[in-house]
Amino acid sequence: MDSGPVRTIARLFATVGTSDYLGESVSQASHMLQAAALAEAARVSPALIAAALLHDVGHFTGVITGRGPMRGTDNRHSDAGADWLAQWFAPDVTEPVRLHVAAKRYLCAVEPGYLDTLSPASVRTLRIQGGPMSPREATAFEAEPAAGAALRLRRWDDAANDPAAKVPPFGHFEPVLRRLVRYRGVAGATR
């Protein structure tokens, strides 16, 4: 049996991924597949498509960290997801995931009108996530190497709540993931 990370992730999409996306009208899996489809349509790098696809794996917290599921809160899902993905993926995949919540807080601080475009659920979690960034935090965010990628990911994240959207199946993105998987110090391991 193929027990590599891509199979593991596929199983998560097929199981816990079918639950609600924090009060939105789409499932978590559909939301992430929509984000990946938007990234693909924007013709960005495979790594950034993968980041869009995987940006909320941290919401699968019960599975990947052993902690209980979230209840309308944000228990650092961006860090949890990025750390989990770092077992197999390089920083060009993991760091936009890590910074996608920070990107929301950044845009709330620097872009007039951005907050008004957010879904009610996203506005609700903003407060728990620290609210809009201070000027000092925004400057620090801009200095992050993955800031630009995280901002692009954030736009797809915000747009990926359409219950009527036709999303590609997870399998559509599997080849992209398989090419990106790497193991620290283990060449040619099962992908």
56/74 with CB nearer Fe ion: 56
Distance in Å, CB of 91 to Fe ion, minimum? 20
Which region among 12-20, 110-118, 141-149, 157-165 touches Fe ion (by CB under 5 A)? 157-165
Is 99 in contact with 52 (CB distance < 8 Å)? no
**Three-class secondary structure of residue 20 per DSSP:** strand
CA dist 103 and 58 (Å) reads 16
Size of the site for Fe ion (CB under 5 A): 2
Which region among 53-61, 91-99, 130-138, 142-150 touches Fe ion (by CB under 5 A)? 53-61
Distance in Å, CB of 186 to Fe ion, minimum? 31
Distance in Å, CB of 168 to Fe ion, minimum? 17
The amino acid sitting at 94 is T
Contact with Fe ion (CB under 5 A): which of 74, 95, 157, 158? Answer: 157
Helix axes 100-110, 135-142, angle to 10 degrees: 130
Helix axes 28-41, 46-54, angle to 10 degrees: 160
120/185 with CB nearer Fe ion: 120
**Three-class secondary structure of residue 27 per DSSP:** strand
Interacting residues with Fe ion between 87 and 146 (CB under 5 A): none
36/177 with CB nearer Fe ion: 36
CB count within 10 Å of CB 169 equals: 12
| Burial class of residue 88, CB neighbours in 10 A (0-12, 13-18, 19+) | buried
When asked if residue 24 is in the footprint of Fe ion (CB under 5 A), the reply is no
40/56 with CB nearer Fe ion: 56
10/57 with CB nearer Fe ion: 57
CA dist 151 and 168 (Å) reads 23
Interacting residues with Fe ion between 55 and 74 (CB under 5 A): 56
Residue nearest to Fe ion (CB): 157
Can you give the binding site for Fe ion, defined by CB under 5 A? 56, 157
